[in-house]
Amino acid sequence: MKERGYTLVELMGYVALLAAFCALLASFASRMWGMARVAEGYAGDLEHVRRALMCLEQDLDRARLVQAGAGSCSLTIGTSEVRYDLVDGSLTRTSGVRREVVARRLAAFTLRPRGPLVDVEIRLRARQPGRAGRAVLHTTVFCGARGKS
């Protein structure tokens, strides 16, 4: 049986096919890597939001909700007042003269009182400008003082 050799045209065709396959694989890997980085970024943002919600829940458990709206709320804890405000994408907590940032990269912060319960909705900003994707966190918190009165 006689062995057949490959012509130059056939070899170039195989190399071109292999190069196209490698480019497709590299493109797919790049997209997956980018999606993983975005997911890691959202996970970090959600961790900050989780901590902010824990702080807000502790304040709500001890306070009576005085005023709530889109982007801000005022709580009265004993004789002091605590404010949460959304300023330039950062949720700030103000107690007396002390101001601290409790969460960043937020698009919206809304509280809606429903009797002893308070609905909290937090929307994260998109990771990249111009993108529509946003993470939304919605939870309900029990307001201790409102439930007692």
**Res 91: pLDDT:** 87
DSSP 70: B
> 12-36, pLDDT tens digit by residue?
888 888 888 888 888 887 777 777 7
Cβ–Cβ under 8 Å, residues 42 and 124: yes
Q: What is each CA distance from 147 to 54, 66, 85, 109, in whole angstroms? A: 19, 14, 24, 23
pLDDT in tens, 62-120: 877 667 777 888 888 878 888 888 888 888 899 888 888 888 888 888 888 887 788 88
Asked if pLDDT for residue 133 goes beyond 60, the answer is: no
Phi then psi for residue 105, to 5 deg, are 60, 40
The answer to whether the pTM exceeds 0.75 is no
The tokens for 80 are: 């002091």
List the beta bridge partners of residue 99.
94
